[in-house]
Chain A
């Protein structure tokens, strides 16, 4: 089975991601010269393109070939709630789906470890969950 996470990203978002990873184009150029890492070479080519095309939309996919799908019904409810109801913290997420926060926390941690969600810091250091993709595709 192939699980594919699909995300639409703008050129601006792509560049922000590159800046977080490499700081600047010059740094990336130096790093590539030192390491000959081909992923860096391609990131460099794409960065040069998107810096002049900030409004372009990129469809980004991440696929994993696996024989086991580890998403439970509750995981799907959590993902759905994060996408549509935009909870402001893990506690808020637990409230929205009428579950105890202590039961939700390990689930949310696993979804983060598996790359389905990320967190940004909110008011009073709350962790605001958000989805890292727009669609999940399953191929059998």
Chain B
């Protein structure tokens, strides 16, 4: 049986959510409103433009835990959020 989880981690002014169900998984960075998920197409992608949900960029990294750790480390070290820098780390 797969494990269903929902995690929420507060890092400074950033709140990172991750959720996992058999339908897929997601990671959200708030308040930047950035979503990384594998819903519907089963390939990991990022929605870099929150105002345009249909805009998706496929990512090279496919493992949710690995991506979650990369995001945590990136925010922890840089104390900022830049979508291009993050996409470079996850490509």
Cβ-defined partner of B6 (8 Å) among A38, A48, A61? A61
- Is the contact region of chain B dominated by helix, strand, or loop, or is it mixed? strand
A45 and B41 alpha carbons, distance in the complex (Å): 13
Chain A hits for B35, CB < 8 A: 38, 41-42
A38 touches B47 (CB 8 A): yes
| Residue A60 lies at the interface, judged by CB distance under 8 Å to chain B | yes
The answer to whether residues A46 and B21 also contact, given A36-B33, A38-B33, A38-B35 and a CB cut-off of 8 A, is: yes
Q: Which range holds the interface residue count of chain A?
A: 20 to 34
Task: Write the residues of chain B forming the contact surface with A, with a CB cutoff of 8 angstroms.
Answer: 3-11, 17, 19, 21-24, 26, 28, 30, 33-35, 37, 39, 47, 50-51, 53, 76
Which residues of chain A have a CB within 8 Å of any CB of chain B? 2, 36-39, 41-42, 45-46, 48-50, 56-65
